[in-house]
Amino acid sequence: MKVIICDKTEKEYIEQMRTAGLTVDVRDDITPEQLMTELPNYEGMVVRSRTKVRKDLIDVCPNLKVIVRGGVGLDTIDHEYAKEKGIAVMNTPMASSASVAELAIGYMLMLARSLYKASASMKAEKWDKKAFEGDEIGGKTLGLVGIGNIGKEVAKRAFALGMTVLAYDPYVKEANGIKLVSLDELLAQADYISLHLPKTKESANMIGAAQFGKMKNGVRIINCARGGIVDESALYEALTSGKVAGAALDVFNEEPPADWKLAKLDNVIASPHIGAATKEAQARVGAEVAEKLIAFSKNGK
């Protein structure tokens, strides 16, 4: 099977695929225009977040049999359309779960203690000790919107820190002792709300002005899932009004943002979609991509 690697993949696992008999071409700098011309020559492709696989690309690839996305979610691929065309679509949902969960927990601690502000103050050569009285997260309630692989990893860590954990997920019936509640109940009770769900037609802008109105005053929001789940205009208003005390955002509706005003707020921590950007997660992603492609080449599934 001939495979094109369109985005960065660990060399060790590329060699593993080659050893297993796959013909692998690494083109992790390929442009969308080049891909339209070259992808028809391949039966398999590996993508991450950079490369988008839309209907127009799928339509010019009669030989394509499998797409593997190294990462969580399939929003960068028109996966339903691909499946209609007989193309298998896979991802690596487990590989980066721990890394994203650790980022979410780290963000909660930073928000609780205003560590980002305290650090900036010190760099400005200020010793403003009285300005940084914070909160403990132990004893607080964490509301998880989405309790899949990443949400469960966040919950484990939150329990260890003494938090009460609630979760809303319409696709889950039980979650290892985590109390499942309605979205309205979660919004009303949570001190911290962390999002861990894919962006779909149902979840787009699901946290907007009406939902902010149902939250506690001084709630803190963490989004390490996908941009576009939170209405950014409504979040900006909630942050500037004081309804939301702080937000930590690893993802944005447009990446990079066209308008940086949300990221520039004093009560916002922002990062450039780095949830899975750890050495450990990248290695696990590469291993899982190789495993799935090798199995597909042998078994066709």
CB of 197 within 8 A of CB of 150? no
196: annotated active-site residue: no
Q: Which amino acid is at 79?
A: H
Q: Which of 48, 226, 232, 288 is catalytic?
A: 226
Q: Which of 12, 84, 254, 255 is catalytic?
A: 255
136: annotated active-site residue: no
CB of 143 within 8 A of CB of 187? yes
Q: Which of 27, 38, 237, 273 is catalytic?
A: 273
Q: Which of 57, 70, 134 is nearest to 286 (CA)?
A: 70
- Residue 87 to residues 53, 80, 210, Cα–Cα distance (Å): 12, 9, 40
Matching residue, tokens 């692989």? 149
Tell the burial category of 68 from Cβ atoms under 10 Å away from its Cβ (0-12, 13-18, 19+). buried
DSSP helix/strand/coil, 47: strand
Cα 175 from Cα 185, distance rounded (Å): 17
Query: Would you name the residues annotated as active-site residues?
Result: 226, 255, 273
